[in-house]
Amino acid sequence: MALPAGRDRSEPESRTLVERAANGEAAASAELYIALRAPVRALCRRLLRSDGDAEEAAADVLLRIERLARDYDDSITFRGFVLRAATNHCIDRLRRRRLERRWIASVAGTVETTSPSPSPLSRLVGREHRDRVRAAIRTLPDVYRVVLVLRYYRELSYDEIAERLQMPRATVGTALFRAKALLRSRLGSAEP
Amino acid sequence: MIEEPDMDCLTELDYGRYCDGDFGVAEKRHVDAHLASCPDCRKLMASLEAENEIIRGALDEVPPEPAAVQVVAGGLAIALVVAVAIRWITSGFAEWSLLATAPSAVGVLVSLVQRVGYPAAIILSVVIISVALLIFVKKRPALPFVAAFVLVLGAPLEALTIRTGGEIVRVAAGTIIHDDVIASGQVVRIEGTIDGDLYALASRIEITGTVTGRVFALAESVIVGGRAEAASLSAFARTVSVEGQVRAWRAWAERISMIGGARTTGDLQAMGRFITLGGHVDGRTVVYGHALTVESTARLGGLRAYVGDPRGLDIAGAAVLTGLRELRAGPRSKLSREALIGRLVLTLLTSAAGAWLWRRRRRFLELSALRLTAWWSSLGRGVARVGVAMTVLAGLAVTIIGVPLALAGLVLLAVASLVGQIVVAAFLAEHLRWRGGQPAFELRLLAALVIISLLSLPGWGIGGTLSGLLSLAGIGAVVIRPGRGRPA
């Protein structure tokens, strides 16, 4: 309805398709599944440290596609809706690993807010360095990795991140700051 | 949120929030005004923004594939070649196990299957699997799986005829590749030098150059030419012919030959039907087979030969055998005993492989769009439990009794080929539609298995190719890691 007809056809996860899937039509579910497989996997791989975990998490979400279609309300796109479910699922997985205690505690505490010298990150350009940055992000503690991914991959706002991670809004800024500081120190120390 | 600091300069934390668009309009205007007048803060801001872009860039990029030179000729060629390789491995193994197990009860069963013929054997196997699955699955979930695999693996899979006119992968003379090479095509010809390992899948693999690492060859025929040198060779083929110098090699094939002038500086292990040895082997020589001919030019160290045919051992008078250990011929030889153990290990390994696959059933389910039902999960628990126990036993058999380890790889491939077809059948079953009412999934699975086995009949011309492709589709569904495409 809100979408023009042309777009409705071109969008793989169009409203009619979602409705058909919600009504239990297997072909529609399969089409949604195929359309959303890549983005869901990509997100899970960035949020979780191990590829195996990410595969499992993605499969968990994708196998629930029919139910997600039923639960879907019109507030955001279906893709966004599924990616949100995937984000929540990954965060749940991380929490379940008894990291909960350290989850927020690690962010709280004093923050040095002095202005440092130019970041070593800004010197790291080019493909090889991107690989290094990505590898370093992977090794960050869960909460830092997750805020970075939510902010700079999913492009969520501070409010949305705070809601997803159930942390105070002010903590989001601190967590991002800490995450980058940690990233810098890891990349800086690895510098030849 | 922003309290006015003593100076107008914000902290890095706050500039971070500013970059991330976390400031309201009024705050933003205030900061913009300050930035216009403060070069230090502008510098800091620029650095933070650059940093964010770098993080975005790193997160956006798809992680790279592991480094390896991939020489691949055409997608379909790979499919066909893999199918051919699997076919030769399974049939080579079947022949070996047949001649090795002839006197045992299992051997009788296997030879019966062979006498009935391939089509009948396949249909029989599929029906046995299906019926067993349907009947026993609730009581003893692992049993039918194990039984079915043991039966089916004995069947010679005369399946595929490869098409001609395919492509050639060639590493030309003078070329030096300093990396591992994965080569696949109708013909793989290595004339240059590979400074690394070579993994080759082809209808025909010819090595006349040098490979400094290991060679793993799956093909209809593998030829290591006169001037070739390789560190080690594992070949699974119909015929394996070694004419050059190889440090150590093992071959699993119907015909294995090592001509006079060829040299093996390490150990040689040959498992096949007809084996001819004419060259020098400095290490130990172990032969399992139907018949062994040792030519007069041969110089073999530490020969152990177990030959199924009582008259199959033919050693020329001029051949030099040093450190002779054991020569046995006939059905009551050690070969039979070892073959029984091999059978046992085979059973154990297939069960373990089944359990392994089961633990990855998510991918199964995901890709074949199956639904997780109580039926499947009870099967899985049973297979998994038995599988763990059997893996331990298999490990013991390989380490203590010394059953060839290569068996594990072969069995996995053979099982994969079979499981692949079963996965495709399950997928088909999921999508089979009946007019007026849908029968139970189990019945549809049975129907799909019968359809698949009919399609696989070699007599139908396309049957062989189809069978290979079906196996591949199923294996692909199980093993291909999503997110990684086929190499270009």
Nearest chain A CA: its distance from B483 CA (Å):
7
Q: Are residues B323 and B359 in the same domain?
A: no
Q: Are residues B318 and B343 in the same domain?
A: no
Nearest chain B CA: its distance from A159 CA (Å):
9
Say if A5 falls within a structural domain.
no
- The pLDDT of residue B115 is 57
Strands B239-242 and B210-224: parallel
Say if A163 falls within a structural domain.
yes
Q: What is the CATH number of the domain that holds A33?
A: 1.10.1740.10
Cβ–Cβ below 8 Å for A46 and B59: yes
**CB atoms closer than 10 angstroms to residue B112:** 12
- The pLDDT of residue A42 is 86
Residue A12 has pLDDT above 60, yes or no: no
Say if A3 falls within a structural domain.
no
What DSSP line would sit under B356-394, residue for residue? HHHHTHHHHHHHHT----HHHHHHHHHHHHHHHHHHHHH
Residue A156 has pLDDT above 50, yes or no: yes
Say if B76 falls within a structural domain.
no
Would you call B365 an interface residue with chain A, using a CB distance cutoff of 8 Å? Answer: yes
Say if A2 falls within a structural domain.
no
- The pLDDT of residue B277 is 93
Q: Are residues A93 and A115 in the same domain?
A: no
Q: Give the separation between CA B31 and CA B38, rounded to whole angstroms.
A: 10
Cβ–Cβ below 8 Å for A158 and B50: no
Q: Are residues A113 and A189 in the same domain?
A: yes
- Of residues B435 and A11, the one with the higher pLDDT is B435
Using the structure block, give the residue that is written with the tokens 């922003």.
B2
Q: Are residues B329 and B340 in the same domain?
A: no
R_g of chain B computed on alpha carbons: 29
Say if B5 falls within a structural domain.
no
Residues in chain B with CB shorter than 8 Å from the CB of A131 are: 58, 61, 64
Q: Give the separation between CA B188 and CA B168, rounded to whole angstroms.
A: 6
Q: Are residues A123 and A83 in the same domain?
A: no
Tens-digit pLDDT profile for residues A52-79: 778 778 878 887 888 888 888 888 888 8
- The pLDDT of residue B34 is 87
Burial class (CB in 10 A: 0-12, 13-18, 19+), B293: middle
HEC profile for B179-237?
CCEEEEEEEEEECCEECCCEEEEEEEEEECCEEEEEEEEEEEEEEECCCCEEEEEEEEC
Q: Are residues A93 and A120 in the same domain?
A: no
Tens-digit pLDDT profile for residues A161-181: 988 888 888 888 888 988 988
Where in the sequence is the domain holding A15, given as residue range(s)? 11-99
- The pLDDT of residue B258 is 92
Provide the residue type at B183 as one letter.
A
Q: Are residues B297 and B440 in the same domain?
A: no
Q: Are residues B173 and B313 in the same domain?
A: yes
Q: Are residues A27 and A89 in the same domain?
A: yes
- The pLDDT of residue A68 is 87
CA B275 to chain centre: 25
- The pLDDT of residue B287 is 86
Boundary (domain end) residue, out of A84, A99, A114? A99
- What values do phi and psi take at B146, rounded to 5? -60, -50
Mean pLDDT of chain A: 75
Number of domains composing chain A: 2
Cβ–Cβ below 8 Å for B58 and A130: yes
Cβ–Cβ below 8 Å for A177 and B16: yes
Q: Are residues A117 and A80 in the same domain?
A: no
Number of domains composing chain B: 3
Q: Give the separation between CA A23 and CA A70, rounded to whole angstroms.
A: 8
Say if B90 falls within a structural domain.
no
Cβ–Cβ below 8 Å for B17 and A173: yes
Say if B87 falls within a structural domain.
no
Provide the residue type at A127 as one letter.
R
- The pLDDT of residue A85 is 92
Boundary (domain end) residue, out of A65, A99, A133? A99
Q: Are residues A50 and A123 in the same domain?
A: no
ipTM of the complex: 0.78
Q: Are residues A115 and A91 in the same domain?
A: no
**CB atoms closer than 10 angstroms to residue B394:** 25
Each of the 488 residues of chain B gets a pLDDT tens digit; together they read: 444 444 578 888 888 888 888 888 888 888 888 888 888 888 888 888 888 888 888 888 765 433 323 333 333 344 444 445 554 455 455 555 544 444 444 445 555 555 555 455 555 555 555 555 545 444 444 444 444 444 444 333 332 223 333 467 778 888 888 777 777 666 788 888 888 888 777 678 899 989 988 888 877 789 998 777 888 888 877 789 999 889 888 887 778 999 888 999 989 988 877 899 999 999 889 888 778 899 889 998 888 887 777 777 888 888 888 876 777 776 555 555 555 555 566 566 666 666 666 666 555 555 444 333 333 444 455 455 555 655 666 565 555 544 444 444 445 555 555 556 666 666 666 666 666 666 666 667 667 767 766 665 544 444 455 555 565 555 544 443 333 333 33
Number of A to B CB contacts under 8 A, please give it. 109
- The pLDDT of residue B385 is 53
Say if A59 falls within a structural domain.
yes
β strands within A12-123, DSSP E: none
Instruction: Identify which of B170, B146, B159, B133 has the alpha carbon closest to the alpha carbon of residue B375.
Output: B133
Q: Are residues B190 and B296 in the same domain?
A: yes
Q: Are residues B258 and B221 in the same domain?
A: yes
**Length of chain B counted residue by residue:** 488
Q: Are residues A111 and A158 in the same domain?
A: yes
- The pLDDT of residue B242 is 92
Q: Are residues A64 and A113 in the same domain?
A: no
Q: Give the separation between CA B449 and CA B129, rounded to whole angstroms.
A: 9
Say if B108 falls within a structural domain.
no
Cβ–Cβ below 8 Å for A56 and B55: no
The DSSP symbol for B458 reads: G
Residues in chain A with CB shorter than 8 Å from the CB of B365 are: 59, 63
Query: Alpha-carbon dihedral of residues B389, B390, B391, B395, nearest 10 degrees?
Result: 110
Q: Give the separation between CA A82 and CA A90, rounded to whole angstroms.
A: 12
- The pLDDT of residue B466 is 57
Q: Are residues B135 and B239 in the same domain?
A: no
Q: In sequence order, which residues have a C-beta less than 8 Å from that of residue A15 and are 6 or more positions away? A: A1, A3, A8, A78
Boundary (domain end) residue, out of A70, A99, A128? A99
Which candidate from A63, A151, A158 shows the least CB-CB separation from B366?
Answer: A63
Say if B260 falls within a structural domain.
yes
Say if A75 falls within a structural domain.
yes
Q: Are residues A110 and A76 in the same domain?
A: no
Q: Are residues A22 and A65 in the same domain?
A: yes
Would you call B112 an interface residue with chain A, using a CB distance cutoff of 8 Å? Answer: no
Say if B105 falls within a structural domain.
no
Cβ–Cβ below 8 Å for A38 and B483: yes
| Predicted confidence band of residue A185 (pLDDT cuts 50, 70, 90) | confident
Q: What is the CATH number of the domain that holds A166?
A: 1.10.10.10
Say if A32 falls within a structural domain.
yes
Instruction: Identify which of B281, B332, B279, B334 has the alpha carbon closest to the alpha carbon of residue B305.
Output: B334
Boundary (domain end) residue, out of B25, B45, B60? B60
B46-75 burial: b if 16+ Cβ within 10 Å, else e: ebbebbbebbebbbeeeeeeeeeebbbbee
- The pLDDT of residue A87 is 92
Q: Are residues B175 and B308 in the same domain?
A: yes
Say if A6 falls within a structural domain.
no
Q: Give the separation between CA A25 and CA B379, rounded to whole angstroms.
A: 28
Angle between helices B75-101 and B334-359 (to 10 degrees): 140
Cβ–Cβ below 8 Å for B59 and A55: no
Nearest chain B CA: its distance from A54 CA (Å):
11
Residue A182 has pLDDT above 70, yes or no: yes
Q: Are residues B369 and B466 in the same domain?
A: yes
3-state SS class at B241? strand
Where in the sequence is the domain holding B16, given as residue range(s)? 12-60
Cβ atoms of residues B81 and B186 within 8 Å = yes
3-state SS class at A33? helix
Say if B237 falls within a structural domain.
yes
What residues are paired with B296 via a beta bridge? none
